[in-house]
Structure 1
Amino acid sequence: MNLLGNLFTAPYEILRVIRKNHTLIRGLIWREIFSRYRGSTLGILWSFVNPLLMLGVYAFVFTAVLKAQWTQSGPRSEFVMILYAGLIVFNFFAECVNRAPSLVIANVNYVKKVVFPLEVLPIVTLGAAAFQLAINLIVWFIFHLVWIGIPSATILCLPIVLLPLVAMTAGVSWFLASLGVFLRDVNQVIGIAITVLMYLSPVFYPLSTLPPQFRPFMLLSPLTLVVEQARGVMLWATLPDWTAWFVYFLISILVASLGFNWFRLTKRGFADVL
């Protein structure tokens, strides 16, 4: 197997791995979710409490203290909902990418098992992050219902908007999970890179506020398009730019295929290093 020779079959191989190991993946995802809150009094309820607390903090800081507005005429409560929508997307990506370099290292016992499909480890992280993303969306919906009203029907397009991000995140996670085995410094670099990416993506500000000459550079961020389109369907009743979405989707499939092939190509050397 080589990195580029199987690009056309890689998406099929990814789906085959998921289908073949779906029971294992589902069990590992639930174990990952419950292990985060094992021993705590509230247990899995913390997955609701944490976003509620964070949204309350955002509401107080940005409306009462900073008196921030997304637009000159927009209410401050709208600013909180816009900000939180962007953070939901960013946090999903950041959680998966931050954990990716240590995935294999933290599961050395699986490396020694010939029959264990190591490719599922990043998928499990994606599943656990997707669970928290769903919880965050429920919290966002409740606050939107109270502060603004019922969201537009365009919010039903949100899963389609997020689909390329899931593929992109999976590809990056496979690549970093492999790289983290051979280069232990990757963890430190990724932490810094994620922080920089947060400020180089339109999470805390609208893309339109940037000077026109800088906007093309912002589009290089893997989060810019999906954050803008997610906000569009969630808050402004606008459908995605399907041409831009399709291009982003093709790039995401390419990244996922390259990451998957890289992981499979290098995993034979994991046991020697670990």
Structure 2
Amino acid sequence: MSQLWKMPMPRLYSALTKLPLVGDVFRFRGLVYAITLRDIRSRYVGSAFGPLWLVLPPVFMVFIYTVIFSQIMRARLPGVEHQFAYSMYLCAGLLSWNLLLELVQRSKGLFLEHANLIKKSNFSKFILFIPVVVVALLNSMILLVLILGFMLLSGYPMPSSLAYILPVLAVVLLMGLALGALLATLNVFFRDVGQFVDVFFQGIFWATPIVYPVSILSPAVQQALSWNPLFPLVRAAQSSFLGDVPDIASLGYPLAVAIVFFALALLLYRRSYADLLDQI
């Protein structure tokens, strides 16, 4: 892989287009661009505020979770004296959670949503997930920038450990994409998958220490919840915002789960491809 960066640009482009999946993205980049642009525009088409709706919801969310919780409700994080510590704890958890949830929610019905395009065109169906990833990352980066902006304005210390949020979000991205791809195929054959996922994720939300400090849980409960692959991801994100260097090794478990999801998604897709085309 390191040899790729030493190649001239034409040779580098040619080498990339020969890679699995990556080559499909390059060949159908026009389609990817068109779907991505349509997804972004569809969120504010016909609205008075237009593209501002990309920013207004995260602005309102950051305001609620920082000013309201810290100043009005006086929520405090045990063991940390700063008035905005709990707000940062909450924002870090929600940043990770929202990225995963958006990837799964947008991906689970992707094949059904693009049924006409899939039937009429011959292309790798996995490139349909690229726009989902781009839009989800855009929303997450807007939220992250707003959180960082609040930290600057409020005088909350910005520790060097904040850099660790990037590998955490990378693992969240991989897990959300892999799980979404698996659910997208299952949803073609079992239409109840979408409703089941909505209910399931409500339970997972409360099985993950996002709105409550993990310290209030008994050791037995903490041990049980540690099997939740989101548990170490959210904990690592919160640690990075609170100035504690997270244990990067703890990301190995959710990364392994994401790889398993991706392998299952690819296997199921390939084995059921013919039937999938008939069902959509």
TM-score bracket, normalised by the shorter chain, equals 0.7 to 0.9
2: CA distance, partners of 1:24 / 1:232: 39
Partner of 1:36: 43
Partner of 1:7: none
> Aligned-pair RMSD on alpha carbons?
2.1
Deviation at 1:172?
0.6
Q: 1:160 aligns with which of 151, 167, 171?
A: 167
Partner of 2:119: 112
1: CA distance, partners of 2:250 / 2:187: 32
Give CA-to-partner distance per residue, 1:8-31, whole Å, 9 cap, x none: xxxx74445445544533442232
Deviation at 1:111?
2.0
Partner of 1:81: 88
Partner of 1:101: 108
Whether 1:263 and 2:269 are equivalent positions in the alignment is: yes
Deviation larger for 129-138 or 66-75: 66-75
Q: Does structure 2 retain, via aligned residues, the 8 Å contact 1:14–1:260? A: no
Secondary structure of 2:124's counterpart equals coil
Partner of 2:15: none
Deviation larger for 212-221 or 242-251: 242-251
Q: Would the alpha carbon gap of residues 106 and 234 (structure 1) be closer, same or farther in structure 2, given more than 3 Å must change?
A: same
Q: Would the alpha carbon gap of residues 265 and 210 (structure 1) be closer, same or farther in structure 2, given more than 3 Å must change?
A: same
Q: Does structure 2 retain, via aligned residues, the 8 Å contact 1:119–1:263? A: no
Percent of residue pairs identical: 25
2: CA distance, partners of 1:16 / 1:244: 33
Partner of 1:250: 256
1: CA distance, partners of 2:264 / 2:23: 16
2: CA distance, partners of 1:135 / 1:15: 26
1: CA distance, partners of 2:160 / 2:32: 32
Secondary structure of 2:237's counterpart equals helix
Whether 1:181 and 2:217 are equivalent positions in the alignment is: no
Q: How does 1:194-209 map to 2 (within 5 A)?
A: 194-209=201-216
2: CA distance, partners of 1:216 / 1:14: 38
Give CA-to-partner distance per residue, 1:36-89, whole Å, 9 cap, x none: 111222222211111111222233542344321112552332211211111111
Q: Does structure 2 retain, via aligned residues, the 8 Å contact 1:101–1:177? A: yes
Q: How does 1:25-64 map to 2 (within 5 A)?
A: 25-64=32-71
Letter in 1 for 2:221: F
Letter in 2 for 1:266: S
Q: Would the alpha carbon gap of residues 18 and 264 (structure 1) be closer, same or farther in structure 2, given more than 3 Å must change?
A: farther
Secondary structure of 1:184's counterpart equals coil
Gaps in structure 1 of 5+ consecutive residues: 1-11
Deviation at 1:203?
0.6
Q: Does structure 2 retain, via aligned residues, the 8 Å contact 1:122–1:177? A: no
| Number of aligned positions between the proteins | 262
Q: Would the alpha carbon gap of residues 187 and 236 (structure 1) be closer, same or farther in structure 2, given more than 3 Å must change?
A: same
Secondary structure of 2:138's counterpart equals helix
Partner of 1:9: none
Q: Does structure 1 retain, via aligned residues, the 8 Å contact 2:229–2:257? A: no
Q: Would the alpha carbon gap of residues 118 and 55 (structure 1) be closer, same or farther in structure 2, given more than 3 Å must change?
A: same
Secondary structure of 1:119's counterpart equals helix
